[in-house]
Structure 1
Amino acid sequence: MPHSDDLLWDAVSGLSRFAALLTMAELGVADHLADGPVTTEELAERCQAHAPALRRVLRELTSMGLLRPAGTDGHELTERGSALRSDAPHSLRSSIRMLGEEGFWYAMGNLPETVRTGKSAFAARFGHLYEHLAARPEASRLFDDYMRARAVTFTENLAKRYDFPQTATMVDVAGGKGHILATVLRANPDMRGVLFDLDHVTEGAREYLTGEGLADRCDVVAGDFFAGVPAGADVYLLASVLHNWGDDDAVGILRNVRRAMAPSGRVLILEVVLPDGTEPHLGNDLDMRMLAIFDGAVERSSQEYAALFGRADLKLTDVIELGAGASLIEAVPS
């Protein structure tokens, strides 16, 4: 087992490595190296960067295994580094850029202030995350790309591992552009869908679902889940929704779903579920981000979700691991 000091220093060094990774993503280094090795001077010209400063970052990226030396003062992409190409399948470039976005960077850097006050320093400066994104179209696009890339593994496994009612209607509550809903509908050709989200999101959702050939099987409805959700469906999916809210707000959302659902309906919560033990887990890392960005947001254990369900006249019936740290939690009327 690594010495405790090694673990601490690795965390300290991780900030520098992420900064180098962010620089690679922001400057499009992987795109500029896509056709083969390039010297530092030529790469700096392509990236519109300062060559001596870029050379130092390239040295760090090489030590991380993202680049390798090529000729005299040249560099080329490794297979790992190719994941930051914009055209790579499931590219990570937008995800890295999103985590380095001004507000996200500020949030994590000011976590000590958030913990001192119990109020998000990010929210105090930038407002609610979704208001912040709505006012910044480029950041909003990066966030959408980040959420889609993060969801690839567990979305595909959701369609494979969960037994959806074949003729059901599913409401994707706060479903964004509709990537998860589209995956489920493609895997279940007799199902219908309803994409429910805020008004400024729905136009993009209509375009995406139409482009996926699903417009005739999916309605797009604008609204606020604190006021209510579309009624009468068989399945209600809340993917990465409840962790954005404190317990009282989360229960309010679930109660609205409970009132709207068909008598034999079910609720599916797609979230990272915290482990019962103290081992390292992605959920703990995400919980720091939720703490930093939102007032009241929190990752939860299965027992904590069960308690929320109980307050909303629901009961937990199953937890299915989906990979990439995510789980599907099923609840039905109690």
Structure 2
Amino acid sequence: MPHSDDLLWGAVGDISRFAALLTMAELGLADHLTQGPLGSAELAGRCGAHAPSLRRVLRELAGLGVIRSAGPDAYELTERGAPLRSDVTDSVRSSIRMLGEEGFWYAMGMLPATVRDGSSAFVKRHGHVYDYLANKPASSRLFDDYMTARAIPFTEGLANRYDFPENVTMVDVGGGKGHILATVLHANPTMRGILVDLEHVTGRAAQTLAAEGLADRSEVVTGDFFDAVPSGGDVYLLASVLHNWDDEEALRILRNIRQAMNPGGRVLLLEVALPDDEAPHLGKDIDMRMLAIFNGGTERTRKEFATLFAQAELALSDIVELGSGASLIEARPR
């Protein structure tokens, strides 16, 4: 093999390593190994796999340190592999399965074609990602699990690190099933919440808030944030919303919020704020997925957020890094 940069050859190997982890996640190997070591033939029988093929994948997984040898042709789960279990709070199993889902895998493989003409090859083949998921219930459940796991650092950071004023109303714009709003309301007992989203989502949001005992402090509204958002809010939250849209559409959302908010109100974004320089950042990896799957969806730099806010008569006032690539971005009226 010719000498080359370790980073480049590492990237070549990454696809094989990811494929092995995807196989582990799809077959539920970590769940099968939870109770203790298993021989490869027995493990293959439990997960419905071809034993000789599985044996080769186990060899790769042992090299990654997520399993280890536990005797002749037997393996056990390691601490490093534990997050691949489906029954742990920090499980990454659904996230890996989602990234290896047929359409998403196609999208990443077709990234060169997307870059050539500036239009997502995924969208050309499958349409908008949410329409695609609506027609594939199993993939949609995976996506929901993936987004729930992805939202954990955002949600915990918002609830634990942002100082909300007393007796305010927060409007969760595009609030989905209501998990983020519920977390914030529990952490701020004097706050009231309004969740606005499309009709096919709001029923589940109302159920979530009721199950959390928050029905008396919350309201669920059906609406399209491109048309309008509920007025009279003190805090408007957009959690992983703007990155789905290009600047023109993102600006429409922000202008609707600026028009609806109370004087002295604020906008909070839970997004990825990319560095303005060339420093490595998890958000740049995520941005490749946004480029591949959406037409116009993008992660933005701090400077790009500031420019977008200014066009909506808002001013960037603070950015708090929450870890795991998550950022809490605050803007206030200019």
**Which TM-score band (shorter chain)?**
over 0.9
Aligned to 2:305: 305
The change in CA–CA distance for 1:122 and 1:201 in structure 2 (over 3 A counts) is same
Q: Structure 2 stretches of 5 or more lacking a match?
A: none
Separation in structure 1 between the aligned mates of residue 98 and residue 158 of structure 2, nearest angstrom: 25
CA deviation map 1:276-299 (0-9, x unaligned): 221111111111111101111111
Separation in structure 1 between the aligned mates of residue 134 and residue 221 of structure 2, nearest angstrom: 18
Cα offset, 1:211, TM superposition: 2.3
Aligned to 2:286: 286
Residue 97 of structure 1 pairs with residue 97 of structure 2: yes
Aligned to 2:27: 27
Separation in structure 2 between the aligned mates of residue 9 and residue 48 of structure 1, nearest angstrom: 33
Cα offset, 1:4, TM superposition: 6.0
Aligned to 2:146: 146
Aligned to 1:256: 256
Aligned to 2:15: 15
Separation in structure 2 between the aligned mates of residue 222 and residue 145 of structure 1, nearest angstrom: 23
Q: One-letter code of the match for 2:270? A: L
Between stretches 208-217 and 53-62, larger displacement belongs to 208-217
Aligned to 1:113: 113
* Secondary structure of the structure 2 residue equivalent to 1:224: coil
Percent identity reads: 68
* Secondary structure of the structure 2 residue equivalent to 1:112: helix
Residue 277 of structure 1 pairs with residue 277 of structure 2: yes
TM-score by length of 1: 0.96
Separation in structure 2 between the aligned mates of residue 212 and residue 96 of structure 1, nearest angstrom: 29
Aligned 1:310-329 pairs, distance under 5 A:
310-329=310-329
The change in CA–CA distance for 1:187 and 1:4 in structure 2 (over 3 A counts) is farther
The change in CA–CA distance for 1:266 and 1:4 in structure 2 (over 3 A counts) is farther
- Does structure 1 conserve the Cα–Cα contact (< 8 Å) formed by 2:309 and 2:315? yes
Aligned to 1:180: 180
Residue 265 of structure 1 pairs with residue 265 of structure 2: yes
List, as ranges, runs of 4+ consecutive aligned residues in structure 1 with deviation greater than 6 Å: none
Separation in structure 2 between the aligned mates of residue 140 and residue 214 of structure 1, nearest angstrom: 27
CA deviation map 1:206-240 (0-9, x unaligned): 22222222222222222211111111111110011
* Secondary structure of the structure 1 residue equivalent to 2:79: coil
* Secondary structure of the structure 2 residue equivalent to 1:11: helix
Aligned 1:10-89 pairs, distance under 5 A:
10-89=10-89
Separation in structure 1 between the aligned mates of residue 216 and residue 133 of structure 2, nearest angstrom: 30
Cα offset, 1:312, TM superposition: 1.0
CA deviation map 1:110-168 (0-9, x unaligned): 00000011000011111111111222222122111111112212321211211112211
Cα offset, 1:40, TM superposition: 0.8
Q: One-letter code of the match for 2:137? A: P
* Secondary structure of the structure 2 residue equivalent to 1:269: strand
Q: Structure 1 stretches of 5 or more lacking a match?
A: none
The change in CA–CA distance for 1:4 and 1:307 in structure 2 (over 3 A counts) is farther
* Secondary structure of the structure 1 residue equivalent to 2:272: strand
Separation in structure 2 between the aligned mates of residue 156 and residue 314 of structure 1, nearest angstrom: 25
Separation in structure 2 between the aligned mates of residue 137 and residue 217 of structure 1, nearest angstrom: 32
CA deviation map 1:258-289 (0-9, x unaligned): 11111221111111111122111111111111
CA deviation map 1:89-111 (0-9, x unaligned): 12111111111111111110000
Aligned to 2:237: 237
* Secondary structure of the structure 2 residue equivalent to 1:194: strand
